[in-house]
Amino acid sequence: MSAAEQGLTVALVGNPNTGKSTLFNALTGLRQRVGNYPGVTVARKSGQCDCGDGTKVELIDLPGLYSLSAASPDEQVVIDALSGHLAEDRRPDAVVVVIDATNLLRNLFLASQLSELDLPVVLVLNQADVATEQGLKINTELLSRRLGGIPVVLTSAWKGEGIAAVRRAIGEALRARVRMPAVEWPSLVAEALADVAAGVAADIGRAPGRADVERLLFDSTSSVGQRLGWAAPRRDVVIRAARDKVRRAGYNPLAAEPLIHYERLRKLLEGVVQGGGNRTGGSAAVDQVLLHRVLGPVVFAGIMLGMFAAVFWLAKFPMQWISGGVDALKLGVAPLLDGMPMLQSLVTDGMIGGVGAFLAFLPQILILFLFVSILEDSGYMARAAFIMDRLFSWCGLNGKSFVPLLSGFACAIPGILSTRTIEDPKARLATAFAVPFMSCSARFPVYALMCAAFIGPLYGPGWESVVMVGMHCVGLLFAVPTAFVLTRFVLKVKPQPFVLELPRYQMPKPRDVLWRMWQNAAEFVSRAGTVIFAITIIVWALSYFPRDPAVEQRIRATSVGVAPEVVDAQVQSAYVEQSWMGRFGKSVQPIFDPCGFDWKITVGVLASFPAREVIVSTLGVTYSVGEGAEADSKHLQQVMRAAKWTEGPRVGTPIFSLAAILALMVFFALCSQCGPTVATLAQETGGWKWAAISFVYMTALAWLMAVAVYQGVSRLA
């Protein structure tokens, strides 16, 4: 039986950016995300690792963290995983601590804290190539001896150097089970720890682990007490007394841990590292330009403009190829199913259309992640956040919210996916929530149709551009206050300090960049893709059934001598009118009446909940222009201009009045009409709760604003 079957697990831990994920990929062969940025690894990633001697262990890539004090959910996950308190995981059998060889002291702080967990440890000093470049010589043997004989391995994970040695070291650690010696606490601090341990044992009847005791004593807020079931009044008394003892030892209880650990490490590292000069020199010179007061923002704007242009325009070409391919496939498949109209429609409009619906997002996702990966791996992303932070901090977001929000103007999906680069969970969620408000490219056809059909002809091309620009600002106008309210009053998550490492600049590796693009696309297709597919099928069914052939016969019988495409369009329109969707649209029209929408627009609005751009072709169908109408269809524009109310108080007046078209555009600017966005929000926020809130909130807001605009403008006009 292999070790993995016996269930041996080994966890990878370390500071963000040290190369854990790169090492993980090298050890497991199961490649995954590689980021040059703190906090990229959030989910639990695992794979099988061969220790070189046939022993197989399950390797877990844990989130990067600087210390065990559970300030963030990521840190909490690591503490819980390493102490065996994650529901789905056993306690690992060993830990591999990955360390940046160019900054041993700071990286060893975490290792030193981890020594309290009483687990076999392998120390991996990664990025040895950079250390060598900087002229650093590290005496790994001496370090190993000072750390009680634990294996210490020097690696360059991205060059694959030292990987075999890591495998062997893991095997050895599991066999010999050598621990890293724990800190020697000053006697009063040791007493205080013993007091806390005794207090816990007395109250819950079981001795707590050393690491848990330290968290209780040293952290201002710790969930360990809660997890142990150690309740407040007793707990607070014991801890207060113990902290007084620490104070008597001359330490602030909340600063004692780093002070004592760093003191230990400074001694421990004496003579271990030789050489090394200016470690921040090269990057500092680049920062002179990239963070310059004037040049910095100019370069930043250039890069962001380039990125946006690529996502917005460059992606159009592959998107056209995809939609061309999907159309060709439909045409190719349709004849095979002649004589079975229902199946034909299900396969072509439902299934092939559904696959096409999510494939269409791939080019934008791939291109955005090409940029995001390069920005992150090169070290520029942190600088971008540094430049932009001021503009976002006041509403509870941070500098890293910029890239997601900007890409939201092309498409919300890659925008939401890129919020992964934000490590503060509060800002991440608020940003993901704000992204769908950005005026994405799918809203463009709606604005284009309304402007071309009405604003342009009635008020001239000048007003057309004003309305276009205005519509692109509407979402932003609502997104910012929404984020403000969300972070200030709604989200109860503790905000993270915006302490951001500005890492050294580095040339991104094409292989890592490509891998990241692929990973994101694959994840999107496998998770959100299925939901999008399902939504498309459901909407297809709603607008296809019931399908009474009598409807078609009646129209064909009464329209002898009329051009066949006109009759086809009328049949289409009649079928939709009596489908579930049509009936539903008619029955809920009163809700949209205050926005000035007739039942045909209402059906269009409803049908475009899965994908807002559908409104144009749906209006084509309901206004009997035929399928496949585009925003620049002169015929559709003409029909819409001619459309009049046929009943109710507004009978005889045009349906598309200025008030109604503005209301319709505002509705589309704000409404959550994108199944893929909702599915992606659910994927990225870990459940349907925030996706549902976003959907309801945006839709309600859209309705309210549409009513306000329609009522306001019709009174004024």
Partner 1 sequence: MTPLSQLLPGQYGKLTSLNPERSVDQRLMALGLLPGMVLKLVRKAPLGDPLAIEFAGQVVSLRLTEAQTIIIDVAADCPIQRPRPQA
**Could you give the C-alpha distances from 82 to 13, 91, 113, 269, in angstroms and in order?**
9, 6, 12, 26
Strands (E), 161-311: 273-275
Single residue of 8, 13, 16, 479 touching ligand GDP by CB under 6 A:
16
Q: Which does 389 bind (CB under 5 to 8 A by kind): ligand GDP, partner 1, Mg ion, none?
A: partner 1
Instruction: Compute φ and ψ for 97, nearest 5 degrees.
Output: -95, 120
Rounded to whole angstroms, the Cα distance separating 576 from 547 reads: 9
Rounded to whole angstroms, the Cα distance separating 68 from 109 reads: 10
Single residue of 35, 296, 399, 620 touching ligand GDP by CB under 6 A:
35
Q: In the complex, what is the shortest distance from the CB of residue 31 to ligand GDP, in angstroms, rounded to a whole number?
A: 11
Single residue of 144, 283, 344, 714 touching partner 1 by CB under 8 A:
283
Selected range binding ligand GDP among 9-17, 330-338, 413-421, 425-433, rule: CB under 6 A: 9-17
* Total of chain residues touching ligand GDP, rule CB under 6 A: 25
Selected range binding partner 1 among 282-290, 354-362, 524-532, 702-710, rule: CB under 8 A: 282-290
Under the binding rule (CB under 8 A), the answer on residue 37 touching partner 1 is no
Under the binding rule (CB under 5 A), the answer on residue 22 touching Mg ion is no
x/- map, 216-255, partner 1, by CB under 8 A: ----x-------------------------------x-xx
Under the binding rule (CB under 6 A), the answer on residue 36 touching ligand GDP is yes
Single residue of 3, 8, 27, 34 touching ligand GDP by CB under 6 A:
34
Single residue of 17, 134, 401, 536 touching ligand GDP by CB under 6 A:
17
Joined tokens for residue 490: 């709604």
Q: In the complex, what is the shortest distance from the CB of residue 510 to ligand GDP, in angstroms, rounded to a whole number?
A: 11
Q: What is the footprint of ligand GDP within residues 363-392 (CB under 6 A)?
A: 377
Q: Which does 273 bind (CB under 5 to 8 A by kind): Mg ion, partner 1, ligand GDP, none?
A: partner 1
x/- map, 25-64, Mg ion, by CB under 5 A: ----------------x-----------------------
Joined tokens for residue 714: 């019709």
Under the binding rule (CB under 5 A), the answer on residue 589 touching Mg ion is no
Q: In the complex, what is the shortest distance from the CB of residue 68 to ligand GDP, in angstroms, rounded to a whole number?
A: 16
What residues pair up with 120 in beta bridges, in sequence order?
Answer: 179
Q: What is the footprint of partner 1 within residues 77-116 (CB under 8 A)?
A: 102-103, 105-106, 109
Which residue's CB is nearer to partner 1, number 389 or number 593?
Answer: 389
Task: Give exposure, 628-644, as e/b (b: 16+ Cβ within 10 Å).
Answer: ebebebeebbebbeebe
Joined tokens for residue 402: 């910029």
Beta strand pairing status for 136-138 and 56-61? unpaired
Beta strand pairing status for 152-154 and 121-126? parallel
Under the binding rule (CB under 6 A), the answer on residue 445 touching ligand GDP is no
Rounded to whole angstroms, the Cα distance separating 71 from 66 reads: 10
Q: What is the footprint of ligand GDP within residues 119-158 (CB under 6 A)?
A: 126-127, 129-130, 156-158
Q: Which does 22 bind (CB under 5 to 8 A by kind): Mg ion, ligand GDP, partner 1, none?
A: ligand GDP
Cβ pair 553, 570 in contact under 8 A: no
Nearest to 414 by CA among 536, 507, 523, 526: 523
Rounded to whole angstroms, the Cα distance separating 65 from 671 reads: 38
Scan for tokens 């495409």, then name that residue.
565
Single-letter code of the amino acid located at 251: Y
Scan for tokens 């009680």, then name that residue.
148
Under the binding rule (CB under 6 A), the answer on residue 63 touching ligand GDP is no
Single residue of 90, 145, 240, 266 touching partner 1 by CB under 8 A:
266
Q: What is the footprint of ligand GDP within residues 489-548 (CB under 6 A)?
A: 506, 509, 512
Cβ pair 384, 299 in contact under 8 A: no
Under the binding rule (CB under 6 A), the answer on residue 64 touching ligand GDP is yes
Strand order in the sheet with 56-61: 45-50, 56-61, 9-14, 94-100, 121-126, 152-154
Q: In the complex, what is the shortest distance from the CB of residue 462 to Mg ion, in angstroms, rounded to a whole number?
A: 51
